[in-house]
Structure formats: structure tokens, C-alpha cells
Chain A
Amino acid sequence: MDQEARHRATTARRWWVLVFLIPTLLILSSLVLYPALRTITDSFLDRFGDQYIGLENYSALASSPRFHTAVLNSFLWATLFPLTVVTIGLVLAVLIEKVRWETAFKLVLFLPVAVSAMSSGIVWRMMLDDSPERGAFNAVATLSASIVSPAGDLAGARPTTGTITLNPDGSIAFPVEVSSAGAVANLGLIGIAEVDLPGNATTANPATRQPKSITGTIWRDAGSSNGQKGKIDKDEIGLSGILVKLISPSGSTVAQTYSVTGGRYAFEGIAPGKYSVLIPSEVTRTRWTGIEWLSPSLITPAAMLAGLWIWAGFSLVMIRAAMTRLDRDVTDAARIDGASEAQILRRITLPLLAPTLSVIGITLAIYGLKVFDLIIGIAPEPVQDDANVIALEMWRSAFTGLGNRGLGSAAAVIMFVMVVPVVALSLRSFRGSETRT
């Protein structure tokens, strides 16, 4: 009868275990475990999943530059990205400890987590638009740059004839030899934006030679449809108010002046010899147009920036929670032992936070390896190859175009292989957190 009672108890228990666990185990084995294993075997099959083709899919991937980019980017997403997010979260967590509006700050930083990765990508694509007219980031960047070094009156101007040289710094020089009869140095320029033309611009006015002088005209050498290069044509525009310098052969500035109406300028009372007439670089200096975030070389950092925007708050909130859970007595003890705040942070707080930091890092590394929607959102079609990650490549191989099942599977397997080191790490910390509870 005793045995029976025990038997009944264990049977009841077993029944509950079955009811509570079977559905989960069933779903996990049929939709996670089986498909994962199946994908591994599929990666050795052809595009229809019919025929065994050995390692062909892998060698195809290995020889595809696009896939190389994907592997490199995924690697960065699994290493650099979590490292950055955790570091920034940690720095913010330490800084925020001192201010009173901690909750509000955490909330502001945490909210992007709710926005979908694709949407975040889209938002940042708008923010990082190359054009300073539309991208907020470049608007601010160019605005601040133009305060430090404003654009010149003839931004981007360049000469039209070979006799005039365009120096690497953007300045324009016209070598002239002056005899006692004087010399004429006409500077024909193109590449001048309509908006940079003087408001009261008039037709260019050819200069006449004068003794002991260098005279000339600065004009836009492109106003007329049938005009000739290097020649002041009838309806071409003279550029007034432009700074011109006269440089001696030794390189020093002999004189400087501004062009007047019609684009004419004159240096008078010049001794004969070799000179050059120079339009300095500050006149031709173009406006800085900002960073091309969405260009091939910067698209991955840009995407990570969007990722940082999403996850920094998460990292901050988790680290702060761990910090408040730390036993305050320990830091107090260190303080009494004479440790400075910096020492407490380095010697006490950081080591105690290490498990939390590694768990956040691992979570983000796994996220980084799976990143997909974010790339779709932020990378415009032409640069998608440069922002490529394995998850995206897998999707493209398997589900777009004709669809290549074997190749897509192989990409997925490589993605999984990259997760393996993270698996090892995470199992270790999971075991750690299990003994903790």
C-alpha cells in the first residue's frame, strides 16, 4: 500500500512533466533541431536539393567576393559591434550614476529597442543621407565645417586652358613675363556655380595692355554656346570682387588686388620680369559636403551606428541594473580602505560586473550574426553588396531570383559555424548564472 502511494505520487508528477514539457520539446525538435540538421545536409546538395554535389556550394561561396564581404562584415558585427555597445553602455552607466534624471535618460536611450530593425535602418538612412540638404548628420557636419573654413567666392573654379595651372591646393596660377610694355593675363574659369556669381555681374570686359603693368580679366569662360575656350566671348560674364595676387619668382606676394566690374584687374608699376598671377585657394575652396556614410566604404559602420542607436539603451539599462544589485557594502568597504572612485570602478565594480557584461556581449554578438532587417533598411540597393552580411547573403541565395537551396543552406551553415565560438562562451556563462540562482 505504501509502494502504491509512492507510485501514485510519481505517476502524478510524471504526468505533469509530460503535460508541461512535451509540446515544447515537440516544437523545438521539429522546427529547430530537425530543420537545422537538415540544412546542414542540404548544403551538400544542388540548387533544387536533389543531387549530392559535395563541397561545391562551399567552394562557390569561397570564391565569391560578395560572400567574402559578407563574412568580414558578419565578423565585425559579432565582435566590434558588441564590444562598442557594451563599452558605451558601461561608460554611460558610470556617468549616469551621478545625475538625478537617470530614469528619463535610460528611457530615451531604451526606446529605440521597440522600433523594428528595418525601421531603424530607414531612419538612419534618412539621417545619414549624403546630401547636406537632406541628411541631418551631414547638414550639421557641413554647417560646422563651413564656420571653421567657409567656402570661397568661386568655389570649385578651375581654368579652361592649359597655360593656366590648377595647383593641388585649388589655387589657380597664370605665369606671365612682363616687359616694360606690360602684359595681359586673362583668367578664364569654369566650374562656378550659378549662385556664386556676383549679383550685379556684367559682361566680361577685355583688358588692354598698359606699360609697366599686368592687366587682365577674370571671367566665366562658358557663358556662350558657340564661344571659344580661353577667349573672352561676347556674352560671357566678368567676375568682379575676386582676390588676385601677384607672386614673384621667389614665391613672395608682390601685390594683391580685387577685380572690378567686368572682371578686370590691374597691377601697376611692375618691374619687368617673371611673375605669376594667382587666384588663392581660399577663393576657389569648395564647400565640404560631409561624410558619405552610405558609400560602399562606410555603409557597414553606418549600419553599426544604427545598431548602436538601438542597443546602447539596452546595454545601459542592463548594466545599471547589475550595478544597483551589487552589494553596496563592498564598495563602501573599499572606500574605507582608501580606494579612489576610479580604483573602486576598476578594481571592484568592473570585476563584479564582468558576468553581466559578458552576457550582454554574447547576446549582442548573436544578434550581430543574425542582423538582416537593419541592412535592408539602411543600405540603398547599390551598396547592399558592400553592407552584405551572411544572413542577407543566405536570403539572397535561397529566396531571391531562381533560388538556390544548396547554396543558401551552405551560407546558413557558415553562419552557424560562426556562432559556435559564441555558443561555447554563452554555455559557460549560462552555467554560471544557473549556479547563481
Chain B
Amino acid sequence: MAGITLEEVSKTYGNGFEAVTNLNLDIKDGEFLVMVGPSGCGKSTTLRMIAGLEEITQGVLKIGNRVVNNMQPKDRDVAMVFQNYALYPHMTVQSNMGFALKLQKLGKEEIRRRVEEIAQLLQLTEQLDKKPAQLSGGQRQRVAMGRAIARLPQVFLLDEPLSNLDTKLRVEMRAEISDLQRKVGVTTLYVTHDQAEAMTMADRVAVINRGVLQQVTEPQGLYDQPKNIFVASFIGSPPMNLLEAHIDHDNRKIRLGSQSLDLPTDILIQRPKLSSYSGRTVTVGIRPDDLKETTLLPKNPAKVRIRASIDSIDTLGTERIVYFHLDAKPVHSENALGRDDDTGLSTAMSARLAGRFSASSDVRIGDTIEIAVNTEKLHFFDPFSGLAIR
């Protein structure tokens, strides 16, 4: 078994489109790394470069200690699960799982033993003689997994393997796959656009956008300490509220439109760099979790509250997501990164915020209420670079 190392890897297509730019990533031996990002961000390209299905334009790719840049897929000792599973339609489940072994010229008995073992692990024993067309979506997914595992490869590559399943099955399979990975302990790169998959399954998550790696860390770190506005807004649902705010000259208060909040006294100890933003405009991020209904928090000091009237409410049973407007300038993650000049958004002077309220809350649309802000957990970003201020 082996880790995967990408050093300054880039991929430029013939038409000049740069899909991946100077990617540095180190996937440790046995690690389950999930690469997440919006569609077209370059995550699948990265995976396919590791598989050997795309040529690497620049940089070095190592599996274990071997540089594999120019190696054929078959020589890289990787296994891959495709989004549409790519099962061989004319072969039975058994032959699908045994195909690579047969190509490795393993003995019939050995192949049979291994396939049966894995079929048992994946509860596919009953399906071994069926063809892919006779299987349900979940079973096909399992066969695809089984086919990858059967080879005992150095590396597992999974390309959105759950996106063709229904929600319920997807949640089940999440657990099953991470279980399986732990059991076999093979280094795994898992590509998805679904942050829930990333957060629940990964040892570490790599967020990628427009071909550029944004942040790699364990799931909780990603949520608590996003490195920039993109990661902040991409991870978490509903997404982090991002708006323009003004910090007063002595870092005591922060102004959001016509309202202002007291900042915690130790804010500069926690985020020393914030001092250089005194008296300036920053982008502030507030997670919906950090906006609560004041009536349920009687001890909450008045100076960390904002007043707003409720626009709409999503009642989800376990919680209520409450939406309201503030007269502050909203920030779009793409604008802040300076890549996109979508001026339509930046001129608006009203930001829509989401708060995660308890299910027992009885606010109604149209109510004007006080909302408590957990100022300890505010996120600050440089308005130009979009990087977190810490």
C-alpha cells in the first residue's frame, strides 16, 4: 500500500482550458481523502490524472515512491469506481469482479475464492450469476465497489460513486463505504460535489475550486476554521452568512448596516491580525448556527443582538431555518475572490441571512424579533483577498 503525492500538478487541455493549477496534495498511506468542490472545479480531472486516464501537463505524481506520470493505468495498481459504475454489461457480477484478476493471470480457484470473499463482504453472494442489468441501483454500486476491492490495489479512486442513488440509499452507502475502507485500509481518494459525503466520510477533506486547491484539513477544522470565503460558503448548510461589516477603530464594535454588535474583548488575542483592520471594512461570516432566538437565551446581553423581521421560515422538524434581511451589503464568495466581477450582487444594500432556530421556536413570518449573535464565533475575511483574518 502507498500514499499519493501530487507536486505542482497542472492540467491544461488542448483548447487552453486550465482544469487544474499547481496542485500540491499529499494523501497519506491508508488515508480516506475526500475531494469536494462544485461541478467543473477540476476534482474529477485530478482523480483521472491519478488513474492515468488523463495526461498530466505539468508537475509530478507519485504513488508510493514511484513517479507514475507516464505510466499506463494498468501499471499503476489503482482501482476506480465510476459515477455510472461502468460495469461490463455482458459479464456476470462474478466475472465483473474477477476481470482484473483474470488479466493478472491469477488461478481460477484463487479468483473464485477472492470474488466470493468480497461478495460476502458486500452481501452480493446471491447476485454473483446475474448480469448488471438485472441488479438494483444499490447492488450495482456494490458490484462496482467489489470490483475495485477485489484487486487489492494500492489506491482506490472513487468518482462520485453515490450520485446515482436515491437519498436514503446514499446515506446507507456512505457508512458502508467508509466502513469498508477502514476494513481494507487502502489509500482512497473520493471525489464528490456533496459536502455531506465529504464531512461524514473523510479523514481529511480537500476543497477545490476552479482548479485550485483551497484547503485540506479534517472535516471539523474545515467547518470551524475555513481558510477563505469560498470554503466558508461551500461547507455548511445553510451556508455561512457573508456580509460587509465595518470594524470600529478600537476593535470594540462591528457595524452591520445600521446596527452594531459588541465584539468579544479577547477578539484580538484570538485573531491578532484583525488589529490591522481597525476602522476598515471587512467581510464578516456568521454561521446560521450562531444566530439564535433571544427569547430562548434570556441571559444573552443586549449588545450582541440584531433586530430583524422574519421573511420566511423552513420548518424541518428538528429545527427551523429562519430567514431575514439586514441593510448590509451582501458578499458573494466568488466576488470576494476577485475572480468574477458580477457587479449586480455587490451594489445591493440588503443581505439575506439565515438563522438556525430551535424547533420549539414560535416565531412567525412578519414578526420583528431580536436575534442573538454568537460573536465568539464570527469569521472575518479580507474583503479583497477573501482570506480568513486570524
Contact = CB atoms under 8 A, between A and B. Distances in A.
Interface in B56-71: 67, 69-71
B72 A9 contact: yes
A250 interface: no
Contacts of B72: 5, 9
- Chain A interface size, as a band, is under 10
Q: Is chain B's binding surface mostly helix, strand, loop or mixed? A: loop
A327 interface: no
A383 to B, nearest CB: 53
Contacts of B67: 2
Interface string A1-33: 011011001000000000000000000000000
- Chain B interface size, as a band, is under 10
Interface string A189-222: 0000000000000000000000000000000000
Interface string B286-299: 00000000000000
Contacts of B75: 5
Contacts of B71: 5
A5 B55 CA distance: 13
Contacts of A9: 70, 72
Nearest to A5: B70
Contacts of B69: 2
Interface in B63-86: 67, 69-72, 75
A6 B68 CA distance: 10
Contacts of B70: 2-3, 5-6, 9
Contacts of A6: 70
Nearest to A13: B72
Nearest to A4: B70
A14 to B, nearest CB: 14
Contacts of A5: 70-72, 75
B103 to A, nearest CB: 15
A5 B67 CA distance: 11
A289 B13 CA distance: 75
B75 to A, nearest CB: 8
Per CB-CB distance, the 9 closest pairs between chain A and chain B, nearest first, are A6-B70, A2-B70, A5-B70, A9-B72, A5-B71, A2-B69, A2-B67, A3-B70, A9-B70
11 contacts: A2-B67, A2-B69, A2-B70, A3-B70, A5-B70, A5-B71, A5-B72, A5-B75, A6-B70, A9-B70, A9-B72
Interface of B: 67, 69-72, 75
Interface of A: 2-3, 5-6, 9
Given A2-B70, A6-B70, A9-B70, 8 more contacts: A2-B67, A2-B69, A3-B70, A5-B70, A5-B71, A5-B72, A5-B75, A9-B72
